[in-house]
Amino acid sequence: MNWSRWWEFYLRDSDLALLILGNLVFGAAAAGLALVAVALRISNDRKARHWNRLERLWEPLTLEVVVGVTPPERLWALVGPADRLRFVNYLLRFAKRVSGSERRIVDDLAAPYLHLLLRQLTRRTPERRARAVQTLSTLGSRRYMDAILRSLDDPSPLVAMVAARSLARTGGPEYAAGILSRMHRFDQWRPSFLASMLATMGPAVAPALRRALADSAYPPSVRAVAADALRELHDYVSADAAALVLEAATDRNLIAATLNLMAHVGRSEHLPAVRRHATSKEPIVRARAIAALGHVGAAEDLPFIVGAFHDESAWVVLRAGEALLEARATDKLEALARLDTPRAHLAQQLLAGKPA
Amino acid sequence: MIYGIILRLLDGFNALVLVYFVVLNAGYFITGLFAFRSLRRYVRRLRSLDIEDLLGSTGMPPITLIAPAFNEEATCVEATRSLLTLRYGDMEILVCNDGSKDRTLDRLREAFDLEEAFRLQTGDIPTAGIRGVYRSRTHHVLWVIDKENGGKADTLNAGLNFCRTPLFCAMDADSLLEREALTRIVRPFVEDARTIAAGGVIRIINGCTVREGSVVEVRLPRELLPRFQVLEYLRAFLAGRMGWHELESTLIISGAFGVFRRELVVEVGGYATDTVGEDMELVVRLHRHCLEQKIPYTIGFVPDPVAWTECPGTLKVLGRQRDRWQRGLVETLLRHRRMLFNPRYGRIGMLAYPYFVFLEMLSPLIEVLGYLGFLVALVLGRVSSLYATAFLSVAIGLGIGLSFTAVALEELGFRRYPRRSDLYRLIWLAVAENFGYRQLTALWRLRGLVTVFRKAKGWGRMERRGFGVKPG
């Protein structure tokens, strides 16, 4: 390249020369981006090929180990030092396909490599830590519970949530108190999701949930989650605590969740606590109270439920129809079905056993 | 004398156009950079959460899919079947027939054994008359609402009036959602209870192989026009919306696939029926409502749940579509103009809104005038080599760079086009689209800008070939 000619050109028309230079730089950057895309594709294809080759190598032996015809050492011998975490990832996916004793064999296959994940728990990236927690809880059985428990206090809410879900799924009820005491960390998460997480721990967690529901020291949002979880568990013992909550609570969501619990587990002695909310100004509270009345209500509540069938809120109307059905008040529903209003169709459909 | 003034004005205008092009592309480039950051984090996060675990959870919020259909006899059955195969715990499907003139309702009735039923309305947004409500005897989650013709927004509102779940998903009846798309798009609502809306990605189905309502092989279309649109969609979703999501300033959620909190949408009055851009208008109105009422909220964009849709295959239909999109954009931006540079609306008013007004709404006008000015100056001999180089580099070079960014983002995140030849084609398309296609779209968008005051409404005719036919 003749640099002196370029220099002459620059001296003659510096603006144009700079622009051309800028274009060359930008063009190189743009071409670089295209090359990055191609390089990424080549590298990913290569990785995928390597990964597939390894899987084809591991898969038949894994199956043999799982059915007990080959010792695990033969499979471990095929795992090179650089592929140990890949092997764990492979087992993580394989574990989803098996259960029972076969599943335990998969956990044992992963055991010699899981300590590598403990190092991942100190990584800067929260997503990596979360992934490590998830893998440890899935393949680590109860051996790594302490590490997972510590992750509940991880600075990242994501890691804490993955730890909580892991403990709820694979841990025992002894971890319930630990999770409940950290529920404030999950206040951004959807309450029904949190309730479902707690309910996966099974009936043994119910005493801790009952205590949380009754304890006004907990934020109303946490108590509402506890009520939802108790409902999912159909915990009949919690009805008394729920009635007390309904007497004193003022938070709309807590009242609605507790009424929902009552609609599943309430008894006739809890009627006064339910009735006081049946005329609430909040449609969601009214609707839940009507549903609860359908479950626990006495004959004297039926006219009130029939009245709710004409409520301005569609939600209350729906719950009233279902409540009459649950209370086996088919005569009342038949009377409503004969009315000359569009809602009569709703009653007809409910009577026909069809979803409305 | 006058001629001299005109020439000087022309020079000034051309210089202005040059600056505008630089700012426009710089804006795109900056959002692209943010998109890179956001996408990297998202991909890592995706690996840290188990989608099967989420699918198995009973805590996922119930959701109603509202699929408005207008003259969709070619695709409605397959699209509805595809909805029924979605992997999601608690969902209902409302297909809303907007007074179709073809056999849409008949085909649905035959395919899903529909019977007349009653369904209580939970909302009272005014809509065109409801002609009938049907429930499937074979699929208890499927309902069909038959109504008088009222346009897409009106049809979505009708669906909203019958929706009973906390969330609803607005989509096009002719789109195919991926099996796990709902679980993935609902995730922001689970992880952050402040989420009021989330949008997914739209990808082009032309060229792909569809079997039993699912895309089983992803390929680039064989025709050039749909191929250009593939690249455009990549740029719009991965570089554009992902970037705006990172800036917490999402203004657009595509009408073909978005999830919203029902209660809030009903509270703001549902979709606006007097605009063709009802999807963007709703999102802007939600921003405005929440900011004015000081409601804590967030609107998200999720880059991996995909709705596959057929794109226009002819210039005529594509032109109509772009015209309509531009009209929708302009109508929305004019309607909520008080948000412009208004600090009350935070980064929406001070950043996203000005960007969309000056760099999206006005860009076709300035782009087309810029090309004309360049040609006039060329004819008059006013174009120096400096200006010509500068104009071509900003008008074409920056556009190429931007498209390369989108292709790189696709490779970084999703690699949906598994054939390496498709990747090379995308790179080639990034260059080729700058010679004719981009100018054409600018013209169509300019037409939309000009005709915005005519208040023309409607769905815009789209000739569907059906998913069974493998489009070119």
- What ipTM was reported for this prediction? 0.84
Task: Indicate the SS3 state at residue B17.
Answer: helix
Q: Is B41 within the bounds of a domain?
A: no
Question: With an 8 Å Cβ cutoff, is A314 touching chain B?
Answer: yes
The two structure tokens encoding residue A271? 């009627």
Cβ–Cβ gap B404/A34 under 8 Å: yes
Q: Is A161 within the bounds of a domain?
A: no
End-to-end CA distance of chain B: 57
In angstroms, the separation between the Cα of residue B460 and the nearest Cα of chain A is: 35
Q: Do B367 and B289 belong to one domain? A: no
Q: Is A254 within the bounds of a domain?
A: yes
Cβ–Cβ gap A196/B59 under 8 Å: yes
B122 contacts in A (CB within 8 Å)?
314-315
Torsional class of B103: left (φ above 0), alpha (ψ -120 to 50), beta (otherwise): alpha
In angstroms, the separation between the Cα of residue A129 and the nearest Cα of chain B is: 8
In angstroms, the separation between the Cα of residue A301 and the nearest Cα of chain B is: 24
Q: What is the pLDDT of residue B470?
A: 42
Q: What is the DSSP string of B90-116?
A: SEEEEEEEE--SSSHHHHHHHHHTEEE
Helix (H) or strand (E) holding A229: helix A220-232
B408 contacts in A (CB within 8 Å)?
33-34, 36-37, 40
Q: Could you tell me the residue range of the domain that residue A333 belongs to?
A: 206-356
B416 contacts in A (CB within 8 Å)?
none
Q: Is A107 within the bounds of a domain?
A: no
Q: Do B128 and B76 belong to one domain? A: yes
Amino acid identity of residue A248, one-letter, is: A
Q: Do B332 and B241 belong to one domain? A: yes
Question: With an 8 Å Cβ cutoff, is A196 touching chain B?
Answer: yes
Q: Is B46 within the bounds of a domain?
A: no
Question: With an 8 Å Cβ cutoff, is A308 touching chain B?
Answer: no
B-facing residues of A in 77-116 (CB < 8 A) are: 96
| Separation between Cα atoms, residue A147 and residue A129, nearest integer Å | 11
Q: Do B307 and B437 belong to one domain? A: no
The last residue of one of the domains, among B350, B384, B410, is: B350
Task: Indicate the SS3 state at residue A35.
Answer: helix
- Closest residue, chain B, to A159 (C-alpha): B48
Residue (of A68, A137, A83, A134) closest to A113 by Cα position: A83
A238: CATH? 1.25.10.10
Q: What is the pLDDT of residue A355?
A: 63
Question: With an 8 Å Cβ cutoff, is A317 touching chain B?
Answer: yes
Q: State the total domains in chain B.
A: 2
B427 contacts in A (CB within 8 Å)?
34, 37-38
CA A100 to chain centre: 24
A41 contacts in B (CB within 8 Å)?
411, 415, 420, 423
Q: State the total domains in chain A.
A: 1
Q: What letter would DSSP give residue B458?
A: S
B-facing residues of A in 10-49 (CB < 8 A) are: 13, 15-16, 19-20, 22-23, 26-27, 29-31, 33-34, 36-38, 40-41, 44-45
Q: Is pLDDT at B53 greater than 80 in this prediction? A: no
Q: Is B40 within the bounds of a domain?
A: no
Q: Do B281 and B430 belong to one domain? A: no
Q: Is pLDDT at B468 greater than 50 in this prediction? A: no
Q: Is A146 within the bounds of a domain?
A: no
Q: Do B345 and B366 belong to one domain? A: no
Question: With an 8 Å Cβ cutoff, is A280 touching chain B?
Answer: no
Cβ burial of B202 (10 Å; 0-12, 13-18, 19+) is buried
pLDDT band at residue B265, thresholds of 50, 70 and 90?
A: very high
Q: Do B244 and B373 belong to one domain? A: no
**Alpha-carbon torsion (B271, B275, B277, B283), positive or negative:** negative
How far is CA B68 from each of CA B126, B143, B373, rounded to the nearest angstrom? 16, 12, 44
- Closest residue, chain B, to A132 (C-alpha): B48
Cβ–Cβ gap B386/A15 under 8 Å: yes
Q: Is pLDDT at B56 greater than 70 in this prediction? A: no
B60 contacts in A (CB within 8 Å)?
192-193
pLDDT band at residue B198, thresholds of 50, 70 and 90?
A: very high
Cβ–Cβ gap A356/B118 under 8 Å: yes
In angstroms, the separation between the Cα of residue A36 and the nearest Cα of chain B is: 7
Q: Are strands B63-69 and B167-171 parallel, antiparallel or unpaired?
A: parallel
How far is CA B127 from each of CA A172, B120, B159, B414, B455, rounded to the nearest angstrom? 53, 15, 10, 40, 19
**Alpha-carbon torsion (B201, B243, B445, B377), positive or negative:** negative
End-to-end CA distance of chain A: 81
Q: What is the pLDDT of residue A62?
A: 94
Cβ–Cβ gap B407/A34 under 8 Å: yes
Contact B448, B326 (CB under 8 A): yes
The mean pLDDT value for B393-414 works out to 86
pLDDT along chain A (356 residues), means of 10: 73 73 79 88 92 93 92 93 92 88 91 90 89 89 84 91 88 82 88 91 92 93 95 95 94 95 93 92 94 86 90 91 88 88 83 71
Q: Do B20 and B66 belong to one domain? A: no
Give me the half-sphere count of Cα atoms (radius 13 Å) on the Cβ side of residue B282.
32
Q: Do B151 and B78 belong to one domain? A: yes
Contact B423, B407 (CB under 8 A): yes
A185 contacts in B (CB within 8 Å)?
none
**φ, ψ (nearest 5 deg) of residue A206:** -55, -45
| Separation between Cα atoms, residue A246 and residue A226, nearest integer Å | 14
Cβ–Cβ gap A315/B191 under 8 Å: no
Cβ–Cβ gap B389/A19 under 8 Å: yes
- Closest residue, chain A, to B49 (C-alpha): A131
Q: Do B275 and B356 belong to one domain? A: no
Of B190, B397, B405, the CB nearest to A33: B405
Q: How many other CB atoms sit within 10 Å of the CB of residue B73?
A: 18
- Closest residue, chain B, to A13 (C-alpha): B386
* Pairs across A and B, CB distance < 8 A: 138
Contact B399, B25 (CB under 8 A): yes
Question: With an 8 Å Cβ cutoff, is A180 touching chain B?
Answer: no
| Separation between Cα atoms, residue A268 and residue A273, nearest integer Å | 10
**φ, ψ (nearest 5 deg) of residue B189:** -70, -30
In angstroms, the separation between the Cα of residue A114 and the nearest Cα of chain B is: 16
pLDDT digits (tens, 9 = 90+) for B286-338: 999 999 999 999 999 999 899 999 899 999 999 999 999 999 999 999 999 99
Torsional class of B202: left (φ above 0), alpha (ψ -120 to 50), beta (otherwise): beta
In angstroms, the separation between the Cα of residue A190 and the nearest Cα of chain B is: 5
Of A15, A23, A127, the CB nearest to B397: A23
Cβ–Cβ gap A189/B47 under 8 Å: no
pLDDT band at residue B5, thresholds of 50, 70 and 90?
A: confident
| Separation between Cα atoms, residue B346 and residue B328, nearest integer Å | 23
Q: Is pLDDT at B58 greater than 80 in this prediction? A: no
Q: Could you tell me the residue range of the domain that residue B407 belongs to?
A: 2-29+352-454
Q: What is the pLDDT of residue B455?
A: 62
| Separation between Cα atoms, residue B128 and residue B271, nearest integer Å | 13
Cβ–Cβ gap A30/B60 under 8 Å: no
Buried-exposed string A118-152: b where 16+ CB fall within 10 A, e elsewhere = eebbeeeebbbbbbbbbbbbbbbbeebbebbbebb
Higher pLDDT, A15 or B344: B344
In angstroms, the separation between the Cα of residue B388 and the nearest Cα of chain A is: 10
Q: Is A310 within the bounds of a domain?
A: yes
Contact B44, B420 (CB under 8 A): no
Q: Is A356 within the bounds of a domain?
A: yes
Q: Is B366 within the bounds of a domain?
A: yes
B315: CATH? 3.90.550.10
Q: Is A331 within the bounds of a domain?
A: yes
In angstroms, the separation between the Cα of residue B260 and the nearest Cα of chain A is: 15
The mean pLDDT value for B3-14 works out to 83
Q: Which single residue is written with the structure tokens 């626990």?
A: A296
**φ, ψ (nearest 5 deg) of residue B200:** -110, -170
| Separation between Cα atoms, residue B185 and residue B307, nearest integer Å | 11
Buried-exposed string A205-222: b where 16+ CB fall within 10 A, e elsewhere = bbebbbebbbeeebebbb
A189 contacts in B (CB within 8 Å)?
190-193
Q: What is the pLDDT of residue A75?
A: 93
Q: Do B242 and B302 belong to one domain? A: yes
| Selected residue of B404, B410, B421, B434 to mutate for chain A interface (largest A Cβ count, 10 A) | B404
| Separation between Cα atoms, residue B168 and residue B253, nearest integer Å | 14
Q: Do B101 and B171 belong to one domain? A: yes
